[in-house]
Chains A and B, each alone.
Chain A
Amino acid sequence: MGKSILQVTNLQKEYIGEITYKALNGIDFQLGENEFVAVMGPSGSGKTTFLNSISTIDRPTVGEILINGRNPYSLDDEELAKFRRSELGFVFQDFNLVHTLTVKENILLPLTLDSLPADKMQHQLKQISQFLGIEELLTKRIYEISGGQKQRVAIARAVIHEPSLLLADEPTGNLDSKAVNDVMNLFSSIHTALKTSILMVTHDPYVASFANRIIFIKDGKLYNEILRGHNRKQFYQEIMDTLAFLGGGQHEL
């Protein structure tokens, strides 16, 4: 493993309310360069909280997060926004595309916020849309394209600025099985061709089997970790077995 892109130390998150609830209870985790890691766990295990803490959406109660050696929580709002659009890429379950913009404008949004020169923008747009096979969608509006296409556009937007870490939260949650395959193949090719590190939360074992490594979270703690060998079928079986131990989640198959 090369140098680590993401370093998480003793991550804890408490939701303080009438009943204080500990969503994360001390997680240590490292993500190496060009690694593709899936996070699994039953509902309410804290996997989304984990991702949100890393994606700087949810401030952790205790613990430290370093992305490329920088602690995003030490940045002010302005710097943090810049940090997100340079270092991180996001793919969400509900796509999170801006309806008022066209496909092309959606993809370019992070670049326009940084006021990149127009020719550079066009160049990057051309490359990424060719790579993801969405060239013919560029002039369309968001409401004119299908779910699978929306997610591809969202992926294009997430990687156009070549982030060091791509974060995905249930990226296939809203898609049918064919679109799931397409999108996951894209993730794989981004991983291999663009050498982007990916951290993905999912509850679908099939989707998780595209990763190199899977970590399981239960009750806010790291429960288990399995590595993929050469065979994806075998990997899938291992995931199923771990989930059976974990309890919860299997019924979703």
Chain B
Amino acid sequence: MSFNHIVIQNILRDKWTYVSYFLSSMFSIIIFFLFSVIVFHPSLTNLDPDSTLGLALMLASLLVYLFSFIYIAYSIMAFLKKKTKTLGIFMITGASMKQIRTLVFRENILIGVLAIITAVILGLVISPLFLMGAKVVLNAETFSMYVPIKAIMLTIGLFLVLFIVISKVMTRFINKEASIQLLKSDVVIEKSIKPHYLLLFLSIMISIGLGYFLNTDYDIGGSLFYVAFFVSVLCTIYLIISQGMRFLLKAFERSSAYMKQTNMLLASNLNAKMKSHANMLFLITILLSGVFLCTSILFSSYYNVEKDSEANYPYSFQYIAAPKASPSKVEADIENIEKQLSTVDLDNYFIEFKSNEERRIGYMSISNYNLLHNKKISLRANEFIAVAGNRKTLPITNVSDDKYLKQFKLVAVNEKNLLTTGFQQTYFIVPDEVYNNIKYPVYKTYLFELDNWTAHTALAKKIIEDFPHIYEERYVTSKIELYDAEMFIKSVMFFIGSMLSLIFLSAAMSILYFYLQTTLLQEKEKYAGIRKLGLSKQELFTVVSKELAILIFVPFTIAITMLCATLFAMRTMVSAAFLQVSMMSSLCFFALFFVSFIFIRKSYFKRLLSN
């Protein structure tokens, strides 16, 4: 019997422990593989790696890899914990620490290699489907299947390294004393959580304080400040969970309900594993909050594209002829555009403004302004209106050193940018007579506003292609084209985001599953004993259901509460429609959770009762 024989037998005889470890490793590898299949897709080869999209894809792959690292490390830890007793038996039969480490290392590598191979094969089977999905979501024309050699190599290489590193590091954690101790007595008694109410209070205060400063626009510390806030929020969440659990359990113990039916069993279960339960709750809460915030932010950005494009570029097409452009050429251009737009319903405006090019301030007559806004405002001889030129920047209102408007009185401010954002800093709307006397160069502006503009992306692309910017001659912008480009980026982000949420979600569930696995044997023995005394299956089911429900729905509730708090804090920035979407997605998550709860409970209960 060789050493490798023992390694293999050790795996085969304890299949189920290894299967869950194998599956969770394989799962994260598949996700990474699918991501890299997209990243290395031939249709994306001409994608600029510095663009938002390229960066997002790179970042997502990195995140998935990093996450796999942590996740696989966690799986190995849980798995080692479960195997400690077996290892202890090996140790007292005379295996040296070195042999034990070799054993564990080889086991892990064997499983790792198997997981990588299966994941790549499965990934290849799934990838056409995945690419089809990506094609639909990304609204791309070509996203066909190819032979992803690069993706295969990268996945195999990176994960092989990952398994070798993790296995090597993890074997250092095998503790001889602990393993042998575990052999002597089966029961490891966990230390319970100590009360830290002052600490809890302090951390809540600090988080609230930091959050308050974050809301007010004090510029202190920059990104360091955000990190501090993040860390303090994490600490607060942990303390709230652990101390809250302690407090509630102690209160429950004193209540009269404690001695009723299965309550005592449930409470004692929670009590005995208070610390590890608290850690588990914390971990799942964080993962879930990540998912919820991620999806909400992505939803909101997805949702805002139309409004966002319109805010930047107010018109479907905007053609500005520079003062130096030749009038005949401009006329030809406009004729051409009008011809291309002849098939669609539209409004068009022909206006002009004069620009102080040095200070980038535009002057427009009140009649043109009225034309654009379909209003009938009249200005007295010494009055003017300031209109923003940049999005989200207030217009200049101080005219004390203006050549023409020195003595003028400001009557109104319009914060909405008049034309394409950034073209001028501010526009001053003045009476027509005043405008005529201004001696700055004239910019003739042709505006076309299409009905149902989001439907004309092909047309927009064509026109923008036909009339590129020519410096000091013509400036052509289109909100349709902007919308189209933004939409593509946002769909990719959305796609990546949903994939990431999916990963986090399944990670949360499988971490929970693993956690239950590690204590399954102990629990099984305990319940077998109590069953003999007279605990019906139904009663056992009640205890297990409640315990699982706490593990699953408490993090869910905390995460939802945090999401709501965040949304509430951002309520001025998000629309009511978005809140609806957010509610809907929360409901979807709840459904997903409920299904996994039912599923986990069923399998756990079955295994608790099996022999």
Please give the residue numbers on chain A whose beta carbons come within 8 Å of chain B beta carbons, in ascending order: 55, 57, 77-78, 80-86, 88, 90, 92, 96-101, 105, 108-113, 115, 118, 121, 141, 143, 157
Contacts and interface: CB of A to CB of B under 8 A. Distances in A.
A82 B259 contact: no
Contacts of B260: 112, 115
Interface in B271-296: 271-272
Given A98-B526, A105-B264, A78 B536 contact: yes
Contacts of A143: 185, 187, 189
Interface stretch (B12-20, B377-385, B507-515, B527-535): B527-535
Contact of B526 (A81, A83, A86, A99): A99
A150 to B, nearest CB: 12
A80 B536 CA distance: 7
Contact of B533 (A84, A105, A118, A121): A84
Interface string B258-269: 011111110011
Of the candidates A81, A85, A143, A157, the one having the most CB atoms from chain B within 10 angstroms of its own CB is A81
B539 interface: yes
B534 A83 contact: yes
Contacts of B187: 99, 143
A97 B529 CA distance: 8
A157 B259 contact: no
A90 B533 contact: yes
Given A100-B272, A101-B264, A108-B259, A77 B536 contact: yes
A90 B189 CA distance: 26
Contact of A157 (B265, B533, B535): B533
A98 B540 CA distance: 14
A98 B268 contact: yes
Contacts of A100: 268-269, 271-272, 526
A121 B538 contact: no
B539 to A, nearest CB: 7
Nearest to B187: A99
B537 interface: yes
B264 A112 contact: yes
A118 B269 contact: no
B256 interface: yes
Nearest to A169: B532
Most buried by B among A98, A115, A118, A157: A98
A118 B264 CA distance: 13
A77 B272 CA distance: 28
A92 B260 CA distance: 25
Interface of A is mostly: helix
A143 B188 CA distance: 10
Contacts of B534: 80-86, 88, 110, 113
Nearest to A114: B261
A51 to B, nearest CB: 11
A84 B271 CA distance: 27
Given A99-B187, A112-B262, 17 more contacts: A57-B532, A77-B536, A77-B538, A81-B539, A92-B532, A98-B526, A98-B529, A99-B272, A100-B268, A100-B269, A100-B271, A101-B268, A108-B264, A109-B264, A110-B534, A115-B261, A143-B189
Interface residues of B, number: 27
A92 B185 CA distance: 18
Interface string B431-470: 0000000000000000000000000000000000000000
Contacts of A82: 534, 536
Contacts of A92: 529, 532
20 contacts: A77-B538, A78-B537, A81-B536, A84-B533, A85-B534, A98-B265, A99-B187, A100-B271, A100-B526, A109-B530, A109-B533, A112-B262, A113-B262, A113-B534, A118-B259, A121-B259, A141-B189, A143-B185, A143-B189, A157-B533
Interface in B494-536: 526, 529-536
Contacts of A111: 259
A143 B185 CA distance: 10
B262 A77 contact: no
- Counting from the closest, the 10 A-B pairs by CB-CB distance are A84-B534, A85-B534, A81-B536, A100-B272, A96-B529, A100-B268, A78-B536, A81-B534, A115-B260, A112-B259
Nearest to A142: B187
A193 B535 CA distance: 28
Nearest to B536: A81
A112 B534 CA distance: 12
B268 A105 contact: yes
Give the most central of B265, B272, B530, B533: most A CB within 10 Å.
Answer: B533
Contacts of A80: 534, 536
Nearest to B527: A98
Contacts of A96: 529, 532-533
Contacts of A81: 531, 534-537, 539
Contacts of A77: 536-538
Contacts of A113: 261-262, 534-535, 539
A104 to B, nearest CB: 10
Contacts of B530: 98, 109
Nearest to B186: A99
A86 B536 CA distance: 13
A111 B258 CA distance: 12
A109 B271 CA distance: 16
Nearest to B258: A112
Nearest to B264: A112
A99 B272 CA distance: 9
Interface in B381-416: none
A83 B268 CA distance: 24
Contacts of B537: 77-78, 81
A157 to B, nearest CB: 7
A115 B189 CA distance: 28
